[in-house]
Structure 1
Amino acid sequence: MFDIGFSELVLIFVVGLVVLGPQRLPIAIRTVMGWVRTIRGLAANVQNELAQELKLQELQESIKKAEALNLSSLSPELSKTVEDLKQSAQQMQANLASTQGEVTKLTDEQVAEIQAKIEQEEQQIVATDLPKSEENQPLVDDVVSDKAKLSPAEIAEQAELDESQFSAYYPPDDELASPGASVSQQQDKQNVS
């Protein structure tokens, strides 16, 4: 197609690998292949339309030549053939107009699909490139903003609830440090709790 040899393809692949990296290169290749497929489809549609237009133009020219020769003086069979040619030319024009509308619609849909895929791939790339701390940051911001919405009494109540959860794991300090308690009694209290 572009007269690219194997060595040029390898060079392009290596440059792409260095520039984009191993994570982004497959996504970039898929995107480029999608563009190539779309462009090939558009080129095929344009070629088909041009071929139909050329046929239509030739048919119209032959009809004009026949009218110039005053076919009305010819036999009824020839005049019937000319009428058939006119009808087929009109049908081809109608088909061409409908095909052109469909091609335009399909082209717009394909372009929209490719743009949507590109946006999705960019979002995936951005999501994979974010460090873990930045991914968790919105959660921390949500907790901080929730606490900012609380009144001072609610914040104090929340702090007491947090302390009560820790007391189940850590015994109070004054039980262990009571005066006159021996070391063995303190160890027994620790073993029981």
Structure 2
Amino acid sequence: MMSLRIVLWLCCLFGFQCTALASTSVPHHASKNAVVKPAKTAANFKRHKRLMREYQHWKGTRYRLGGNSHKAIDCSALTRRLYHDAFAVDLPRTTGGQLSRGKRAKQKTLHIGDLLFFKTGRAQKHVGIYIGENRFIHASRRKGVTISQLSNPYWTNHMIAARRVLTDTAVR
């Protein structure tokens, strides 16, 4: 029973949603609204850990359309590099190409690693990677590589699609 408490505490600490049986006691510092998904906890933990490790290498890198280095990078180059380095999965170079990969995912059932797409201009699209707890990594024009809240009204109003490229067996 103690190991379940530790797992729940770690899930809450790292911002994962956790589902526990009603009879299971949750540490006092854990959120009462935590929802546990036992079958996906290990995979989510690994995905989150790998994405955050790669994010640390890119955090703050400035945005430039067409950029593909630590000097400057654009959104699709960032998602392509993060997927390659974290999961050994190759994505197309453009946002449009990435939009055609994987399966459609519903916003209410996003998994860590899902690609999120936004319409940010008349013909312009933006892409980021979902990391759980309503947050995503992306290359922002103003902040460079950063983490943003999906619940921000701007992102909520501009989201056009979510795609699931990673399978449950992709991260072991």
Q: Decide: shared fold, TM above 0.5.
A: no
Could you say which structure has the higher strand fraction?
A: 2
TM-score by length of 1: 0.24
TM-score by length of 2: 0.26
